[in-house]
Each structure stands twice: as C-alpha cells, then as structure tokens.
Amino acid sequence: MDLSGILNYLVGFAIMAGIYGVFALGLNVHWGYTGILNAGIAGFFAVGAYTAALLTTQPPDPLLFEDFKFGGNLAQMGFLRLGIDLWFFVSLGAAGVAAGILAWLMGFLTLRLRSDYLAIAMVGVAETVRLIFLNEQWLANGSKGLYRIPGFLSEWVTPEFHDYLYLATVLIILALLFMVSELALRSPWGRVLRSIREDETAAEASGKNVFRFKVQAFVMGAVIMGIGGALFAHNVRFVSPLTFSPLLATFVIWAMLIVGGSGNNRGAILGAFVVWGIWSGTQFMPGIFSDANFRFFMIGVLIVAVFVIRPGGILGPDRRIARLGASSQPPPTAGPSGSKGAG
C-alpha cells in the first residue's frame, strides 16, 4: 500500500471511530451519568440509521426488485439541497427524534425495573427492532436492505476527497455533541443524574422524581445514538438488518466506553478510537489475529479483563465530577470549562 492508500485507510478508520465516539457518548449518558444498563444500543442505532436512510433514499424502484413502500428522497428536494445539503441536517435531526421517541416509549415501560431486568429488556428492544426491519419488507426492504443512501456534500468534491470532508463533518458533530454532553453533565440536571447513579434511594428521598430524570437521560442518550446511526448510514450508504448485529452495534460500544472510562466523556471518545483501532488494526496482523472470529473473542476478553484488572478504564471516571462528595467537592462552576476539548 502506498502512502496515499495508507492515508485513505486512516481517514476511513477515523470516520468510523468518530461515529463510534458518538455512540459511546450516548451510552455514557445512559450508563456513565445515570447508571442505566442499556444492553440494546443496536435498537437505537438501527432506528436512527433506518430513519436517515428512509428519509433520504430514492423511492423504491421495482426494476431493482425493491419492494418497500416509502423513500423520502430528501436529498433531491429543491430547497434542501441549495448546494449545502441542508437535507443532511434534517436527516440527522429526524434520526435523533425517532430514536428519542423509541427511548421515551421503552423508558416508560422499563426504567422502573431493576437494572439487570432493564438490561434484558433492552436486549429485547434491540432484537424486536432488528426483527421488524428484517421481516417487514414493506418498511425497509427486508434483508436486502437499503443501498442507495446519499452522501453529504458529495457533489462538492471528487469521490477521492469526499472522505476527508466527511471526516471533518463527523468530527465537528462529535465535538458539538461532546460539548452538549459536558454542559448537560455539569448543569444542575446533570448533578441530579449523578446523584441517581450514586444512590437512587437517597435521590428519591431528597424529593427528586427519579423516574422522570431517568427517562430524560435515557431519551437524551438515545437521541445521540440516533444521530450516530444517521452518520453511519450516510457514511456506509448501506443499511440492512445484518448491520445491527449485537457485536458491532452494542458490544463493541460497551467495550469502548468501559475501556475509555465510564462516566467520562473524554474517556468515551478515547475508548472509541482505541477499541476501533484494535478492532480494525488487528486485521492486518499475521495469522490468527486477522481472523474476525478471534477478534470477536478478544472483544469479550477485553471487556472482562478491564472489569477484573482496571474497572475504571484508561482514564477512569472524570475526577472533577465522578464522586458527588457532598459539600467537600462542588462540581466546577464555570460552565464551559470542559469545552477546551472541542475542535
């Protein structure tokens, strides 16, 4: 591989790592902030990706043996393109809203459950979503999937350079979401979430409506995941039920957050790059390391090993905010102190 080939590979890698960073941020809102054990990220990922895909793909074409009913074709809609592809943001927004609505509905049903029940319930949500997209041909073309998803600003640059442009887009959105998450975490609202994570009973006793805060956090994390799904769909330009396997759509993201350090937004993003680096880097290694099944195995071992050896992850919990510490350690007051990580 020559230099430009390597560079292209690295850009492609960074785009995926950045998108996974978005998912890890969303999971951090669930697990790191609030202690919601979401073992069904794939469900929100899929809903986000499919929403974006269905809104922007061209209408079904019987000649291509497509038999779904609706393709929004937003990308071709006059005022939304205007050279700057406004439809892309409509698509991201809609994906976030769709995942948020799913979270709101499921949250109402399941967030009162003990966390291990909740984890199983979330596996159920993800499985249900996957089965619906698989079996309901009319909805999203069943197992054949959707493969005519447009790319963002693809008319601006030649295909070779499009990846650079998209990398910049993903990183900007990741930075924005990072800032929003940090601000939310440091707000009074975020403080309540942390108190719920530390001791739910105590939070309840101090008059907080724990359930409502949990639903809000659950929706927020899901919206972020939905946006991640849309970013994914417009990058890969193809979604099918197989895309959302528990491994690549749930477990890998857990590994990222746990490796990076749960409760820590920087850790979430760092973890995304590290784990995705290991995952995609090992395929160039000789022998067994390039075996996808071995890498699958190693992801599991990695999660277990982190829990056994270093439960805090690489960065550990964000020290400035991790412990409530009551009066001894008030959270930093200057709001955007965490925004230096942006850009």
Which residues contribute to the site for other proteins (CB under 8 A)? 35, 37, 39, 109-110, 112-117, 119-121, 123-125, 127-128, 131, 134-135, 246-247, 251, 254-255, 258, 291, 293-304, 307-308, 311
Cβ closer to other proteins: 37 or 167? 37
CB of 184 to other proteins, least distance (A): 22
CB of 55 to other proteins, least distance (A): 25
3-class secondary structure, 255: helix
Cβ closer to other proteins: 173 or 275? 275
List Cα–Cα distances, 266 to 51, 252, 307, 312, in angstroms. Answer: 28, 17, 19, 13
CB of 288 to other proteins, least distance (A): 8
Cβ closer to other proteins: 149 or 256? 256
CB of 253 to other proteins, least distance (A): 12
Angle of helix 292-309 relative to helix 252-260, nearest 10 degrees?
A: 40
Cβ closer to other proteins: 125 or 177? 125
CB of 29 to other proteins, least distance (A): 16
Cβ closer to other proteins: 130 or 148? 130
Cβ closer to other proteins: 31 or 166? 31
Alpha helices in the chain (DSSP H): 3-27, 34, 41-56, 78-81, 87-110, 115-135, 137-140, 159-186, 188-198, 200-205, 210-236, 246, 252-260, 265-281, 292-309
> CA 49 to CA 92: how far, in whole Å?
9
Query: Which residues, in sequence order, are CB contacts of 3 under 8 Å at separation 6+?
Result: none
Cβ closer to other proteins: 170 or 322? 322
List Cα–Cα distances, 20 to 252, 300, 334, in angstroms. Answer: 9, 17, 29
CB of 120 to other proteins, least distance (A): 5
> CA 97 to CA 223: how far, in whole Å?
6
Angle of helix 188-198 relative to helix 210-236, nearest 10 degrees?
A: 100
Q: Which long-range contacts (CB under 8 A, 24 or more apart) does 256-259 make?
A: 256/20, 256/21, 256/23, 256/24, 257/24, 257/27, 257/28, 257/31, 257/32, 257/313, 258/303, 258/306, 258/307, 258/313, 259/302, 259/306, 259/313, 259/314
Cβ closer to other proteins: 12 or 124? 124
Cβ closer to other proteins: 86 or 298? 298
> Do 19 and 232 touch, CB atoms closer than 8 A?
yes
CB of 274 to other proteins, least distance (A): 16
CB of 54 to other proteins, least distance (A): 21
CB of 129 to other proteins, least distance (A): 10
> Do 52 and 91 touch, CB atoms closer than 8 A?
yes
> CA 9 to CA 196: how far, in whole Å?
42
